[in-house]
Every structure is written in structure tokens, then in C-alpha cells.
A = this chain, B = another copy of it.
């Protein structure tokens, strides 16, 4: 991954001219805005401060060649991939860089690393793909003088596949494409496709309670974890590999979502499925967002939900159409059809079904009749295929927008169905008000991204002209307004982006002051010297 953006060098997604024009209008851009990034050699990097005895202990644990501190490695581990991360990195600020990167080859090598760091008072930041968008991997030190990133990239094996039980025991450093390739060779899939899929890891998914684009069908990662092994500064912790248990509180559910603040996930046993022989992705239109929400609710509660279900609001629909617009005859005919059916201000939805040919045919038939009865117009497979092709492209597009001087950020929540429209209106309104108030009128878009019987998630994207020089202040105002609105309207502060630093101040609102104290008690027991990922997850006292 390139240090200043998304993907590998050379990979890029260009903004089509119709979309650029739309943004110029909506964001009040002159078209002359530009955002640059400094060269790697110009990035400001603090001097490494890892004490020499600790370096020797780490080298003896993982091998000298796996304790790294080159400029590029340190900058790459200085931050995740949130908007503020990219603003800082592009501006040459890598003050969040670790003093060194340590790359163990196994759980056995992790244990002495944690021990050495706990004894020396060196912070340890577990690092998978580095794709956190909430400040989860920045090498903050807490009260400690030095910090190392514990990079799990060498722990990338499938340890065991249990075909009868449909589970796979995995190392945490496996990245999405490699995992799916290896499982695919065994005729299996995990079915976990977060937008970060190409660069994020099994351990990162589990540590942050990730959800993938197909999680409505395959289940979010926390629903796929059968068992875990973790290393903590005071020893190993394993949960039993059982399909279900009544043996007390769930320690698996304590380690999931702990974001490296209690320990490091060194193995995860995940449920897998036969790789789908068939995939059917289809576009739908609803005349209003409310109608679409109701249709998805009926679909989910009727046990007919697709594997992927998404519903864009009016604003996201408009931009999606502009992004996908080719100006072709088919395009124009499609728009004319929607106009004719009273959907010119409508909302675009996607459904995706995966499985055997027989299953896909049966499930999509049932879903289609429910969606039609609820007011949906089928747009056929073309929009569905287009969505599937572009499913991982948004972060690439962000680089292009940053190059054009446009702030672009996403945030998400989940709420009961009964509160969903209110959360949508409240959060969207708060973002518009906050950014318009600063003289940078935004585009705020949202889609329903995951369905549950009791509710759904909402995923917001907002764009605005960057305030040059005060980019972070501008972002903070918008983010804070949205977080406040989420909390006030009954949503959770995060459905799948996790907590990191950005949401840590909201944890008392989320789980209550006593809930925070319970988490602190667990941390105190597992990480008594507080070296594990300081300043993340839990708010400052």
C-alpha cells in the first residue's frame, strides 16, 4: 500500500466528468482546487527511540531481520487510512510513526515480544493491513517513551480446514485476496468482503468486529468466529472451539472488538462455506428512501434477505448515477424508464445472491416478488454487475478527490428499524448544517448497507471543499456533529468501523460509565502495564 493513499502505486480510479461536474456544483468548487502530497523524503519523522536492550530482546524473539525501522516502513505504520490520517500523511506529518516494526512468524514469537515490551514499558500496536479508518493503528505511546508496531504480515497461513464442520483455523495476517484464493482451492469461501478487502487481514477484521459487503448473508465477522487464540502480556488465552456453549460469559466476545488493547489475536477459527457456483446481482429502484427501507425490512424479516442488500438514499443515488454515467443510449433509456415510472427522484438498491444455481434461483425469485410487492422496480443485472466490479473502488477514488482538494469521509451506524429514518435524517442534517456553517456546503449521501431482523446499518459519505490549512478542524466539526447526532437519535457510534481514537470519547455514551469500567478491569488484568495499543478504544480517564 502506498504510504500517502490507497492501493499500490499506479492503481487509480478516475472521476468521470459527469460526476466531477455534479460535485463542482454541489460543493461550490471553482475547479481550480488542488491537493498535493509531499515526497517520502520530506515526511517529518521523529527520531527512533527504542531502547537498545529492548531492540535486542525483540531481535532475539523474531530475528534481527524482522525488527525494522526504515523510513518507508515507519511512515507506512504511522497511521491508518482515515481522512485525517491521509491529510496528515500527505502534508508530511508522520509523528504517529512507531520507533520500530516487529514482524513475528508465529504465536510463539508473539509471546516474548509482548513480554519484552511489557517489561520495558514500550507500547505495542498490533498492525494487520493498516486500513483502520478510526485511528486504530497510529503508534500512540500513552505514558510510554517508545512504541513498536507488531506487524502480523508473516503470520499468513491457513493452519487447518475442517471440512465436516465447515471451519478454518487461520493466522491473523492473512489478507482478503490471499485467504479467498487459498480457501477457493479447497472449494470454500469466507464470504467476508469489507471495502478494505484487498488490504485488510483476518486478525484486523476480528479485532475490530468488521462487517463485509455480503455480511447480510454471510454474517458479520463476529458471527463467523468459532474460536480464538490470543496472546496478552500476561499469557495466552484460548476459547473453546464449540458451535455454542452455556459455559459462562463469552470470552470470545470480550476479545473480539478489543482492537489490540487487551492482547493480540494469533489464531482465529472461522466458519466458511462452499464457494458459490452462482452469483446474481441485480439493481432495483424505489420511489422514495422510506419505501426502499420498508421493502428491505419486509424482505429481511420474511427470511428472504439476499447476501448483499444495499439501498442508496436520493443523494447517493444521484451521485452513483453520475459516477456510472456513460451517456450511452442504454443509459438514457434507463433514465427515461425511471422518469416514466415516477422514480426520477428515486432510490437505487442492489441485491446480490450467491450459492448453488438452484439456491440462487429460488432465493432471488422469492426476494423479487417481495420487492415488487413493496414497490420496487427491477433494473436488471447491469447495475448489479457494475456495483460488483466497483465494490472496492471508493478508497481509490478518495485519493483522486483529495488530489482535487475535496474532503471525503465516511461514517456509519446501526439502529433498530423503528429509528432508522430518524437517524438518517438527523445525521444527514447535522453534517449539512455543520459544513454549510463553515462556508463549505457538502454533499451528504447515505446507504443502508446491512440488514438484521431488528434493524439495519446506515453508511454515510460526505464531501466538501477542503478548508486549506484547517482541514483537520473542518473534519473535527463535521465528525463531532455526526457523532452527536448518532447518539441523540438512537444509533450506535459504529456498526463496523470500530472505535480506535475517533470514537473512544463516545464509549461512555455507548456502554455507560460502568461498562467502560468493566472494560478497564479486563484490560488491567490482561495488560497491567498498559502497553497494548494505548489511547485506543477506551477514553482517557
A residues apposed to B, CB below 8 Å: 162-167, 208-211, 220, 222, 226, 232, 234-251, 253-259, 262, 271, 273, 297, 301, 303, 355, 359, 414-419, 450, 452-457, 490-499, 503, 506-507, 510-512, 514-515, 517-522, 524-526, 537
Q: Which of A246, A250, A254, A521 has most chain B Cβ within 10 Å?
A: A246
CA distance A517 to B263 in the complex (A): 15
Partner of A244, one of B211, B237, B507, B520: B211
- Min CB–CB distance A483 → chain B (angstroms): 12
A210-B246, A247-B507, A520-B525 given; name 5 further pairs at CB < 8 Å: A240-B492, A243-B456, A248-B537, A250-B257, A517-B525
The closest CB in chain B to the CB of A238 belongs to B512
Q: Which residues of B contact A243 (CB under 8 A)?
A: 414-416, 452-457
Cβ B494 vs Cβ A246 within 8 A: yes
Task: Write out the residue numbers on chain B whose beta carbons fall within 8 Å of the beta carbon of A242.
Answer: 414-416, 455, 491-492, 495
Contact A495 B249 (CB under 8 A): no
Question: Which residues does chain B contribute within 8 Å of A164, judged by CB atoms?
Answer: 297, 416-418
Task: Find the B residue at minimum CB distance from A524.
Answer: B521
Task: Point out the residues of chain B lying under 8 angstroms from A255, CB to CB.
Answer: 249
What's the least CB distance linking A150 to chain B, in Å?
19
Residues of B within 8 Å of A249, CB to CB, are 253-258, 262, 519, 522
Q: CA–CA, A419 to B249, complex, Å?
A: 24
- Partner of A248 from the list B244, B453, B511, B521 (CB cut-off 8 Å) is B511
Measured in the bound complex, the distance between the Cα atoms of B212 and A413 in whole Å is 32
Which of A211, A253, A271, A418: most chain B CB closer than 10 A?
Answer: A253
**How many copies of this kind of chain does the complex include?**
2
Q: Is the CB of B453 within 8 A of A246?
A: no
**Complex: A250 Cα to B209 Cα, angstroms:** 10
B454 and A248 within 8 A (CB): no
Cα–Cα distance between A141 and B208 once the two chains are bound (Å): 40
Do B248 and A499 touch (CB < 8 A)? yes
Q: Is the CB of A245 within 8 A of B453?
A: no
Residue of A210, A247, A456, A503 with most partner-chain B CB within 10 A: A247
Residue of B nearest to A209 (CB): B246
Which residues of chain B are within 8 angstroms of A258 by Cβ–Cβ distance? 248-249
* A511/B247 in contact, CB under 8 A: yes
Chain B contacts for A239, CB-based, 8 A: 511, 515
Q: A510 to B240, Cβ gap below 8 A?
A: yes
A165 to B453, CA, bound (A): 7
Minimal Cβ-Cβ distance residue in B for A416: B165
Find chain B residues with CB under 8 A from A226 CB: 416, 454
State the Cβ distance, A38 to closest chain B Cβ, in Å: 33
Query: Roughly how many angstroms separate A415 CA and B165 CA in the complex, as a whole number?
Result: 9
Query: Contacts of A456 on B, CB cut-off 8 Å?
Result: 243
Interface residue from B254, B262, B417, B493 paired with A247 (Cβ < 8 Å): B493
Residues of chain B lying within 8 A (CB to CB) of residue A250: 222, 250, 253-254, 256-257
Closest to A232 in B: B514
Inter-subunit contact B511/A240 (CB<8 Å): yes
The distance from the CB of A138 to the nearest CB of chain B, in whole angstroms, is 18
Give A481 to B291 CA distance when docked, in angstroms.
59
Say whether B246 contacts A165, CB under 8 Å. Answer: no
Which B residues touch A521, using CB under 8 A?
521-522, 524-525
Q: Which 8 A-B pairs have the closest CB atoms?
A: A253-B253, A243-B455, A243-B452, A165-B416, A209-B246, A521-B525, A245-B492, A242-B492
User: Which residue among A234, A243, A250 has the maximum number of chain B CB atoms within 10 Å of its CB?
Assistant: A243
The answer to whether A498 touches B167, judged by C-beta atoms less than 8 angstroms apart, is no
Q: Output the least CB separation between A368 and chain B (Å).
A: 15
Determine whether the beta carbon of A418 is less than 8 Å from that of B162: yes
CB of A251, distance to nearest CB on chain B (Å): 5
In the complex, which residues of chain B have a beta carbon less than 8 angstroms from the beta carbon of A494? Answer: 245-247
Complexed CA–CA distance, A121 and B303 (Å): 50
| CB nearest to A413 among chain B residues | B242
Partner of A495, one of B167, B245, B511, B514: B245
Chain B contacts for A236, CB-based, 8 A: 512, 514
Residues of B within 8 A of A517 (CB): 525
A244 / chain B contacts, CB cutoff of 8 Å: 211, 220, 414, 450, 452, 455, 457, 492, 495-496
Residues in B with CB closer than 8 Å to A414 are: 242-245
Q: Which of A162, A211, A503, A507 has the most CB of B within 10 A?
A: A162
- What are 17 of the A-B contact pairs (CB < 8 Å)? A163-B418, A165-B417, A209-B246, A236-B512, A237-B518, A240-B510, A243-B416, A243-B452, A244-B455, A246-B494, A247-B492, A248-B259, A249-B253, A249-B257, A249-B258, A249-B519, A518-B526
Please give, as numbers and ranges, the residues of chain B lying within 8 Å of A211 by CB-CB distance: 244, 246
Residues of chain B with a CB closer than 8 A to A254's CB:
249-250, 253-254, 518
Closest Cβ of chain B to A265, distance in Å, is 13
